[in-house]
Chain A
């Protein structure tokens, strides 16, 4: 696997070298060097904050083009639940699935159905687990955030695959059985609101390889799909997700679906960080389940959607209210022989990318220098040096990646001192003559 593949990348031609993206990055993964932003690959968690912050649209998310479908004889669409929030006046999610078949997909499997399967497994985990709290594994950006900034909480992440992965495996298996074709002829394509999901397809967490063959952004499909919604030629007549699975599009959807009382759902990466700090401090001892989503509003607020997050969130709410009332039986699926087990298969490991040095003595020595350099800097965190804060610049200096005169204030002092020295020198020379 390509460990540092990232969906979020920089379009150098569009980058003006401004500092808008620097401060919002939750892992301090961006520096401006030589007039252009640069993303530190091992720190980036693909949360998409920089995509939102960039006024020049120089931060972009790489997804697959529609032409990627051509690599497979049969193509299955895996629409994210957030897709349903994109269309004005949509009263029935089935129309979206029919529209996708119209666009050339041979089958559709709602990721919301994957979410139903994951929800049942989550209910069983909540019944059995003693970890306080269990942390949702649904948001890949939050999982990577925990790897980088909260490794002490890795053991709290619930060991369940994402609805997308569950949907991909179930969809392919059912399609192959029904049509009598071999698995490698079938491509599964996630219709994604999220660059971090794209990254997790290339470089999955908690499993050896992803079962998804590609990701197409919602915004790319929005135009052609909305044109077909009113009168699709084809008709999807397969099973549909429950209201709970569809509800996963919004922040709090997974928590509500779990049926557990002591849950907390937080959206927006910086809000998630604040609550993870509290969990790490032991401040929320009664909490059973924590759902943290990087995007405001939840997946409906993903960087790759068309519609405003709040509008989409409200549409999802209304769709869910119209769906048939059901209850999810946690044991319905698992009791069936040969049923799908969504358990993660490999451990999620700490990413030690923030430490100053692998060796503690060396780290202590560097820490001392970082502190004294930080004190010599103005403390304005202006970003003009290309680092997100004065402390980050001090660290870069100690790590040999920047110089003190990258700070414009230090540079000004130095120039002023040099000018004074030159003047003194000139005067003493003229006296000699």
Chain B
């Protein structure tokens, strides 16, 4: 392979409240990472983070996009939604804290582990939020896992 630096990028639209398609984007992300030969432990971490962010957008946001970018060194997952934003991010990052309604909890979601799981699984995690929307930027370093 020559010095050209290949980047693979895919963007997936996420529709608010669409539980029938929830999980499609993360399934596709997992498939792409496997095809790229990414270490299985890293695929699993990225899959969990992708799934949690996808579900979060379906449940809590007005919709948005999840973008996967892979280059030789890094996997990046960028989740951008169109609001309504998270009023208190510190509170939202606490394990077990959730604003999910009873109806959502009945579906088996809303355990308050989404954001903490995303932070735990990623190597770099930043979150910004305003009433206009939330942006979660997660990076995963390729080659960190041994073997």
Contacts and interface: CB of A to CB of B under 8 A. Distances in A.
B121 to A, nearest CB: 8
Contacts of A361: 1, 4-6, 72
Interface stretch (A161-169, A232-240, A256-264, A275-283): A275-283
B76 interface: no
B69 to A, nearest CB: 11
Contacts of A280: 30, 44, 47-48
B36 A363 contact: yes
A6 B48 CA distance: 34
21 contacts: A152-B40, A152-B43, A152-B44, A152-B47, A153-B44, A154-B40, A280-B44, A280-B47, A281-B48, A282-B48, A282-B51, A350-B40, A355-B37, A360-B37, A360-B72, A360-B142, A363-B37, A364-B36, A365-B6, A367-B36, A368-B8
B44 A355 contact: no
Interface string B13-33: 000000000010011001010
Contacts of B37: 352, 355-358, 360, 363
Contacts, number: 73
B26 to A, nearest CB: 6
A405 interface: no
Contacts of B26: 281
Interface in A96-151: 149, 151
A281 B40 contact: no
A286 to B, nearest CB: 10
Contacts of A281: 23, 26, 47-48, 51
B7 interface: yes
Interface string A330-368: 000000000000000000001010111111111111011
B99 to A, nearest CB: 20
Contacts of A350: 40
Contacts of B51: 281-283
B40 A364 contact: no
Contact of A365 (B1, B40, B47, B113): B1
Nearest to B6: A364
A44 B35 CA distance: 17
Contact of B71 (A352, A356, A359, A364): A364
Nearest to B45: A152
B48 to A, nearest CB: 4
Contacts of A277: 23, 27, 30
Given A282-B117, A364-B72, A356 B35 contact: yes
Given A360-B38, A360-B142, 16 more contacts: A149-B34, A152-B44, A152-B47, A280-B47, A280-B48, A350-B40, A352-B37, A355-B34, A361-B1, A361-B5, A364-B6, A364-B70, A364-B71, A365-B1, A367-B32, A367-B35
Nearest to A363: B36
A193 to B, nearest CB: 31
A385 B51 CA distance: 34
Nearest to B32: A367
Nearest to B7: A364
A363 B37 CA distance: 8
Contacts of A282: 48, 51-52, 117
A48 B95 CA distance: 44
A277 B70 CA distance: 21
A365 B37 CA distance: 13
A151 B41 CA distance: 8
